[in-house]
Each structure stands twice: as C-alpha cells, then as structure tokens.
Amino acid sequence: MDLSIRCDRLAGPGETVIAHDARELPGGKGANQAVAAARLGARVAMVGRVGSDAFADRLLANLEAEGLDVTCVRRTGGCASGLAIVAVDRGGENAITAVPGANGRVSPADVEAAADAIREADVLLLQLEIPLETVQAATRMARDAGTLVILDPAPAPAHVPEALLEVDVICPNALEAAALLGRARVSVAEAMDVARTLASRGPGTVIVTLGRDGAVCCDRRGRGERVPAPTVRVVDTTAAGDAFAAALGVRLAERAPLAEAVRFACHAGAVAASRPGAQPAMPTREDIDGLAGC
C-alpha cells in the first residue's frame, strides 16, 4: 500500500516540509506492473504475498477488480503487508521509502507453488522488492521452461549476483543502471555505453530508461538504438517505470520487434507520468494509442 504525499518540494536531511494531502493507494512494483499489463490486454497471474493486516483485503480486492489471477498471492500470518511512503513534489519527482513486510517473505517455495503459471506464461516479469534468491529461483524455472524473463532491477541491490543478470531483458533506469555497475550516476550521454557494459555481463538485451529522454536499448553484441519519449506534462513519476516494464512485457509477448516494444513502453511510461498515483495511473491500450507517434 502506498501512502502518497504531495508537497511543493521534497524534504532534505533533517528538514520538515508541509504536505498538501495524503492518500492511501494500492502500489508495489510487482502489483503496479501486473495491473498495467492487464489494462494493456494481457492475461496476468500475480505471484507474491500480502500480510495479515487491514491492507491485505484491500490489496487483493483491487487486484481481482483489475482482472488478475491472484491464486498465487498468499496471505502471511503475523506480518504486515508491504508499505511505501511516497513523497511527490510539484514537478512530479518523487522520493520513496519502502517497508517490505510480507514481500520479504516471498520464497523459492512460493515460486515452486506457482510453477504451472510460470512455465505456461509467455513472459515472466520480475522486480527486486522480494528476496534476490526468490528472483533467481523464478528466473531459473522460467529459463528452463523457455519463458521470456524480463527483470526490472528496482530497487537496485547493493551487491548484484552475476546470476541475477542472466535474463533475457533487463530494464533499469539510469540510477539503477549506475548502481548495478557501482557508479554514482549515469548521464544521458553515457547511457548507451552503460547499456553495452551491462549487456556484456549476461543479459540478452539491456534497456536503460531515461525519463523524458526516452530510452536506449542494446543487445549483447553491442548493437544499440535510442528511442525517444513523447512530450507530456509530468504530474507524478512514481510508477512511470512500472508502466514501462509492463508495456514492454506485453509487446514482447505479442512478438513485437524490440524497438517497437520499447517505443510502446516509452509511451506507457509517459502516460503514467502525466497522472497522479501508482496503480491509478497505469494506462490502457487506448491511452497509449492516443499519443502521437505510437
């Protein structure tokens, strides 16, 4: 559950700022991406956990209302559901503090319980708000079954096991790409070189998202392409990356060429950034088709 707070600017260390309002909205990277994929026309099964608190029923009900299969979402006794405190400034930039809660209990045993769903899927879409060993277990299962694996490496871990990069597609934003390489930052001008470096470490394809500057994509042979993003009025960037990852997965499942899939994903991210909130901002196919150049 996201506790979303809107303020004029984000607080600095030791500083208190006054916010305009606060709302409780369903969130979580995996759930955001699952909802977005469903709104874009995919048949989606969610794998994860909620806690035993008051948020659990609301989170599950929301996923079911979006048409998701939640058979593999388990309730965890004696544990809170995941919570994120999301501060958004007037320019749409955000700062997020997440408490894993039940997300931290998602285990390789949960992956095994979801084996049929993973093996029968066209795409397995993964994030890093669950334990890394669980992500690696899911990756191995999908790879053995021939299921395409897309990893959104967020939040980026302090230490990156090499096995974590053995996926078909990885799509970090610029900050996450920098963290994966042990760097402080990555500029737009450096993004393609960074994508090529990451591609040399295992992924079949690397896509580095750059917000309003679009994205760069590169395969392990070093062949790269820059894809622009449409211009929109930015309201809230909280779930733009989730919309991007979901849209990318949907179009790759539909066997679209990579550049076309990335372009579609950039449009999805732009739509999400033009709206407040996380899951409420996830676009439909019609929303994306409404942007010129898609």
55 vs 256: CA distance, rounded Å: 37
Q: What angle do CA 214, 217, 219 make, to 5 degrees?
A: 180
Phi, psi (deg, nearest 5) at residue 236? -160, 115
195 vs 174: CA distance, rounded Å: 10
Name residues whose C-beta falls within 8 Å of residue 6's C-beta, 6 or more positions apart in sequence.
Answer: 19, 20, 21, 22, 88, 276
Q: Hunting for tokens 């967020």 — which residue is that?
A: 154
Q: Where are the beta strands (DSSP E) in the chain?
A: 2-7, 19-25, 45-50, 69-75, 83-88, 94-99, 123-126, 148-151, 169-170, 205-209, 215-219, 224-227
Count Cα neighbours of 178 within 13 Å in the Cβ-side half-sphere.
Answer: 11
Strands 69-75 and 83-88: unpaired
SS3 content of the chain, % helix, strand, coil (to 5): 40, 20, 40
Which residue in the list 2, 152, 168, 242 is annotated as catalytic?
A: 242
- Catalytic residue status for 242: yes
* Active site positions, annotated: 242
